[in-house]
Structure 1
């Protein structure tokens, strides 16, 4: 029996509060442009449609206002709010969910994820190079993942990684340092030095 292949949409998560960075991570420039716009261009190139995940108070932010948006329809519960809101709006679609704070991510890494996609699984994900656990914020979430995410939300459990651990997933080897993220000013300085050394 052939399993129907859901369309692949992109969801760029930009709704975080960036408390540890003490400024909007999405607006931080790397290689001359805000990392949100760099991540957006990557996502647009590899998916059929792409959307920016935002909180309601971010809708009119100049960096975000010009991009197609899906506004969180759940309380401030972290990335799960964005994923669930997107799944509610387009329940027939699979979602390539991407955090906006991955300055080393490239198109080849995203294409590797897409090429390995298994529509019979709940998700196709990379392993973290730090602990081997699934990375929920560079992952393809199939429509079948929605029921578990929604149930966990209703039970008060909001961690997408734990949802993946409970799911039928395809777990790919970590793609080197491509998923290293930046959460603090110190990590940002270190990342800038790394990018300069690669230039």
Structure 2
């Protein structure tokens, strides 16, 4: 009896957010002279077989995104679930390592920890939040089997990918320190920028 082969892993960089609190495109925020989108992209493509950036239709020709392989959201105004579902529908037989583009402290070691802990028999593998202990959906490995539940919830009007992970068979890992801290406001950006530039 042959062993079950786990689906291949593709990477998805979520960059389609409206960034209302930041009041500017988070993907373009620069740390140590490099836009956050490109910092995250280089990280993702080093640990996955193929990688894509998730965009809204109106972002396709944005100079920062235009040169990268894209998956265009097939859903309107439902947040990160739009990117995840669109990727799953484009390549339904792969697992997706999904990361948000507003995680400036994310590093390769954190992603490798997630990949090494993968349980392909679960619907997903995810870290817990260091703030509330709930699953972190925007740095997580979504298996093909997660698609049905996520789509069912979105079709029913529930767009929260975290809730989908809570209701799924999700392998949870301890929070990776501050690696998944995100930035949402101009003040947080300035503080993070100083922190990263001081460390580099």
Q: Which residue is equivalent to 1:170?
A: 171
- Rounded to whole Å, the distance in 1 between the matches of 2:108 and 2:91 is 24
Q: CA deviation at 1:135?
A: 0.3
Q: Which residue is equivalent to 1:109?
A: 110
Contact kept? 2:29, 2:36, Cα under 8 Å: yes
Contact kept? 1:13, 1:99, Cα under 8 Å: yes
User: Normalising by structure 1, what TM-score?
Assistant: 0.98
Q: Which residue is equivalent to 1:43?
A: 44
Q: CA deviation at 1:50?
A: 0.1
Q: Which residue is equivalent to 1:186?
A: 187
Give the superposed CA RMSD.
Answer: 0.9
- Runs of 4+ that moved beyond 3 A: none
Where does the alignment leave 5 or more consecutive residues of structure 1 unmatched? Answer: none
Contact kept? 2:135, 2:165, Cα under 8 Å: yes
Contact kept? 1:3, 1:119, Cα under 8 Å: no
Q: Which residue is equivalent to 1:11?
A: 12
CA deviations over 1:34-86 (Å, ceiling 9, x no partner): 00001000000000000000000000000000000000011110000000000
Written as runs of structure 1 = structure 2, the 5 A alignment for 1:87-126 is 87-126=88-127
1:53 aligns with 2:50: no
1:67 is paired with a residue whose SS is coil
- Rounded to whole Å, the distance in 1 between the matches of 2:60 and 2:144 is 26
Q: Which residue is equivalent to 2:158?
A: 157
Q: CA deviation at 1:3?
A: 3.0
- Rounded to whole Å, the distance in 2 between the matches of 1:152 and 1:3 is 29
Q: Which residue is equivalent to 1:31?
A: 32
- Rounded to whole Å, the distance in 2 between the matches of 1:92 and 1:154 is 21
CA deviations over 1:143-184 (Å, ceiling 9, x no partner): 000000010011000000000000001100000000010110
- Rounded to whole Å, the distance in 1 between the matches of 2:5 and 2:150 is 21
Where does the alignment leave 5 or more consecutive residues of structure 2 unmatched? Answer: none
Contact kept? 2:14, 2:54, Cα under 8 Å: yes
